[in-house]
Amino acid sequence: MENVPMKAIFSMIAFALIMMSAPLMAQSEGGQYKSEYVFTTKACPSGFDSYYMASYFFDESQAFTMRSFPICEVDGMIKSLKINPSGSSYAILSQKKDVKKVSVYDFHGVDVLLKSYKKLVNPSAIAYTPNAKNFLISTENQILVYDARTYEPIVNIPTAFTANYMAVSPNSYFLAASACDSSLSVWNYESKNLRTTLQKDSKVNAFSFSDDSKSMAVVTADGVLSIYDTQHFTLQGTYGELGEAKHCDFHPSGKYVSVLTSQDSIVIVNLLDNKDRLSFTNENGGITETIFIEGADNQVFLVYNNYLSIVYKLMTSLVPYYKQLISDQVDKNMAEWLKQMPNESMEAYSLRVNDESREQQMRLFEQEISTQLAENMVQMSEVSLGNYSTESNMLAVNFDNMPSIYLAVPNEEVTDFMDPGNLEFRNAKYGITEDDKFELIYAEVYNKSTGKSYTYDNTEKRDVEFLVSEEEFVPLELVQQTNMQEVMLQEIKTAVIETAKERNVISDHTNISVNTDIKTDVDAEGNNIRNYSIELSYEVEVGFSAKEDFAPGKYKVEDSGAAMSMLSIMKEAFEGEFSKYIKEGKKLILHITGMADSMPIHGKIAYDGCYGELEKEPMYKGNELSNITLTKKGGITQNEQLAMLRALGVGQYITNNIKGVSDMDVDYKYHIELSKGKGGEYRRISVSMIFVDAL
């Protein structure tokens, strides 16, 4: 290593140990999950931030890892610490007497200062955008926006106050800020225009956005949690009796919000059922904030600081957000059902797919998925019999784990229902209620004492939960249009593949997939829009990849016949029918995934700089934001660098070869995937192009 101080090496080793242990920390011996992990600290954490599963805290003038290794010391008192979401750096707001300053440090070193903002007028809050592109500093009557890598100024956002608290939504659509008085302002972060100002009845203590950016939680000093939708910023619900309500954070599912009610107590609120609250206390006190983070195996932890410790509490008692799970799966199933089947004529497709059949199919999918998730709850229920209406001839049948049902029973047969143990519920189907609980919507109720059956059927009477408002519903003609375009894309694919085979570029052992879709969305101004997406990917069978795809150590897109064939399909498509989606200034989100196998790199692979030099470049490792460095001098020493280069090659090809893309507002999102297997079949690329507000 070149001129690296010993303390920096020590810090990097400590960091590596924490990060290596992080995915496993949720498991104890025998693979069982512990309910709580307490990391004792040598100093009292007065604030903290997290990256992946590791937390970093500050106390007085020093910042530490959660293992209490010091990472920096400032001249004065630390007021705030924020970690760059890509893990490349962290920022500290500090104060000495009446003077405040902001400093940015290297995340992998000790006291390695990258940038110091010394001449700011009263800096009062700091934040990173979730995509790691921008760094924000609040000063007197303005919010300063900087490039998070170069630290150069980009724009100033004027404010009518000096913000002491800021938050940016995960999709970077919204910037919320407050002076910790009774008002909260929200900007369209894309245009930097003020969207709204919310007036509260009490001092705003904190706020946060849900992971899907559709909701915003606000807690105020009167002990009230308020939930707003982010399309129109209308109030969706309030939840009171939450003590001092000092801090809040959304559970990843969006169903729950944690609220710090005092320095030693936290309440988790079910937003769909206000009566469902989980409360716990920590008698040590000293809690200043609480956040949810996801760990290994999708386990969710509630993390908070308290006196001389950082606590990770596993949230096993929280019930999944079933409505969202069902909705997501219904969407996936409907996307397949709405496609025109192979060899299905347009006439046959029009008969099969219409507004009425689509509604019926959505209902069937919802019932099918709900029933699978419910796992036949009626068999696990304690059944009792309730009142009987002589006017409607309806008998109430009660369950201890679901809402009651009302069974049509003739008056003369009521006496047959003396023992609920005689009832069998056959062919049960389930739905989901507004408060996210399962309910029985269909069952054939067999009375063993008489041999008679009674049918309970509420499948048609209830609303279809996931048939949303007209604004969110994709018109059938647009669905049919995208299906026709996918057929065109398949025809282009067939022609390109045949040409590539004739030139011996690929063979029948390379399989290229194309897919189109249309999704409803909401833009940063709250307008309903429709996005059009095109996805392309390929697979090469084992034993043929080294010839038809990337050979070991190769990364240039021209090195892969399969990759070039896939991109040729894209190029030809956008020279024809699909060119209408390429419009100057319109937004295009490009998700490009590069993959690499686990074959070790011995020594160093030369890199000629064809895709530029990267210094802590943000990218996604799976779904987690990270960063990567790659230079001509350093060369290629890791498989993740090969994966990134393969993705960059695709990005460069699209920019250079598809006419008009360079004139669009393109958001490049690079993803890398590392396989545990070895072989060329794991060295692939895929592309997802999302044309925002295209239809």
CA dihedral 597, 537, 555, 492 (to 10 degrees): 150
Give 630's pLDDT tier (boundaries 50, 70, 90): very high
Give 512's pLDDT tier (boundaries 50, 70, 90): confident
Into which CATH architecture does domain 6-319 fall?
7 Propeller (2.130)
Nearest to 687 by CA among 495, 487, 510, 514: 514
Confidence (pLDDT) at 585: 93
Nearest to 459 by CA among 440, 435, 444: 440
What gap in Å lies between CA 152 and CA 172, rounded to an integer? 19
- pLDDT of 514-528, one tens digit each? 888 888 899 999 999
- pLDDT of 646-681, one tens digit each? 999 999 999 999 999 999 999 999 999 988 888 777
User: Given a cut of 90, is residue 405 above it in pLDDT?
Assistant: yes
What gap in Å lies between CA 617 and CA 608, rounded to an integer? 18
Structure tokens at 602: 């011995």
User: Given a cut of 70, is residue 106 above it in pLDDT?
Assistant: yes
Q: 154 near 142, Cβ under 8 Å?
A: no
Q: How many residues does the chain have?
A: 695
Confidence (pLDDT) at 474: 67
User: Given a cut of 70, is residue 222 above it in pLDDT?
Assistant: yes
What gap in Å lies between CA 492 and CA 510, rounded to an integer? 16
- Window from 3-7, 81-85, 219-223 with minimum mean pLDDT: 3-7
What's the 3-state SS for 282-315? CCCCCCCCEEEEECHHHCEEEEEEECCEEEEEEC
CA dihedral 222, 225, 228, 230 (to 10 degrees): 110
Beta bridge partners of 259: 248, 267
Give 600's pLDDT tier (boundaries 50, 70, 90): confident
Give Cα separations from 424 to 143, 427, 444, 452, 525 (angstroms).
Answer: 65, 10, 8, 11, 53
Structure tokens at 595: 């993959």
If one compares 33 and 388, the residue with the highest pLDDT of the two is 388
Query: The whole model's pTM is what?
Result: 0.88
Q: 246 near 290, Cβ under 8 Å?
A: no
Give 508's pLDDT tier (boundaries 50, 70, 90): confident
User: Given a cut of 70, is residue 19 above it in pLDDT?
Assistant: no
Structure tokens at 119: 């001449």
- pLDDT of 267-311, one tens digit each? 999 999 999 999 999 989 999 999 999 887 788 999 999 999 999
Confidence (pLDDT) at 309: 94
Confidence (pLDDT) at 21: 39
Confidence (pLDDT) at 479: 72
If one compares 324 and 476, the residue with the highest pLDDT of the two is 324
E strand or H helix at 266? strand 265-270
Q: 317 near 278, Cβ under 8 Å?
A: yes
Report which listed range, 65-74, 383-392, 462-471, is most confident. Answer: 65-74
What gap in Å lies between CA 208 and CA 565, rounded to an integer? 45
Beta bridge partners of 278: 268
E strand or H helix at 351? helix 346-352
Mean pLDDT, all residues of the chain: 89
Domain ranges of the chain: 6-319, 324-457, 470-691
Confidence (pLDDT) at 450: 95
User: Given a cut of 80, is residue 472 above it in pLDDT?
Assistant: no
Confidence (pLDDT) at 547: 84
User: Given a cut of 50, is residue 98 above it in pLDDT?
Assistant: yes
Q: Around 189, how many Cα atoms within 13 Å sit in the side-chain half-sphere? A: 25
- pLDDT of 122-171, one tens digit each? 999 999 999 999 999 999 999 999 999 999 999 999 999 999 999 999 99
- pLDDT of 327-354, one tens digit each? 999 989 998 898 888 888 888 988 899 8
Give Cα separations from 507 to 313, 488, 492, 512, 565 (angstroms).
Answer: 53, 22, 17, 11, 11
Mean pLDDT of 467-472: 48
E strand or H helix at 491? helix 476-502
Mean pLDDT of 416-440: 93
User: Given a cut of 70, is residue 443 above it in pLDDT?
Assistant: yes
What gap in Å lies between CA 421 and CA 415, rounded to an integer? 14
In percent, how much of the chain has pLDDT > 90? 68
Confidence (pLDDT) at 355: 85
